[in-house]
């Protein structure tokens, strides 16, 4: 970790923010052609769904806690020439909470962000199936990966004794 900055926790009228910078060499094993990595964002804590009763219905309301808004964002710099495939972003809106994510790549820089907002303190027990669908959508999004491909020629290995480059083909013309 090269730097950490946090806002004043006593400034309650302003959002609390934490920024940090990590520098880790050899983070990716480039011996593979394509590498999958997570978005490197903290997992958002969501309440577990309530246990179902013998009848299959939720027995109690789902406690979401104090209305809260959390935004996480990461910017990841990769070696020049790295090809990146980003996952699709997600957006799920309910009257009790909303969740959205965005993933993008610009050159060899990846940006990922996730935003969740809890509006209500609880979800009624009769809406447990809806909350479970919301929870699955968020967890599925958090499980998505970026796919990275190393720059052409960087770290390539061959199992062949033949050289990697080939001589240009020769054109032979016949005279009549």
**What does the pLDDT look like over 43-68, one tens digit per residue?**
777 888 777 665 656 578 889 988 98
In percent, how much of the chain has pLDDT > 90? 40
**Complete domains list, the chain, with CATH:** 28-43+58-149 (2.60.120.1130)
Q: Which run of H or E residues covers position 84? A: strand 83-85
pLDDT (0 to 100) of residue 18: 87
**CA separation (Å) from 89 to 39, 68, 114, 141, 151?**
12, 21, 9, 8, 25
pLDDT (0 to 100) of residue 157: 39
> pLDDT by residue (tens digit) across 26-45?
777 778 888 898 888 887 77
- pTM for the whole structure: 0.75
Q: Please check the confidence at residue 120 and state whether its pLDDT lies above 50.
A: yes
- Most confident range, picked from 27-41, 76-90, 145-159: 76-90
């Amino acid at each position: 970790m090269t730097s950490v900055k946090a806002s004043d926790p006593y400034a309650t009228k302003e959002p609390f923010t934490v920024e940090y910078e990590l520098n880790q060499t050899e983070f990716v094993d480039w011996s593979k052609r394509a590498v999958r990595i997570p978005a490197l964002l903290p997992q958002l804590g969501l309440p577990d769904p309530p246990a179902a009763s013998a009848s299959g219905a939720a027995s109690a309301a789902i406690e979401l806690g104090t209305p809260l808004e959390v935004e996480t964002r990461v910017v990841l710099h990769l070696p020049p020439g790295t090809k990146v495939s980003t996952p699709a972003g997600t957006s799920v809106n309910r009257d009790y909470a909303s969740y959205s994510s965005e993933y993008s790549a610009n050159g060899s820089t990846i940006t990922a962000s996730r935003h969740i907002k809890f509006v209500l303190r609880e979800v009624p027990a009769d809406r447990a199936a809806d909350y479970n669908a919301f929870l699955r959508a968020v967890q599925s999004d958090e499980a998505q990966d970026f796919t990275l491909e190393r720059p052409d020629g960087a770290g390539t290995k061959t199992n062949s004794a033949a050289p990697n480059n080939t001589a240009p083909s020769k054109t032979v013309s016949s005279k009549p």
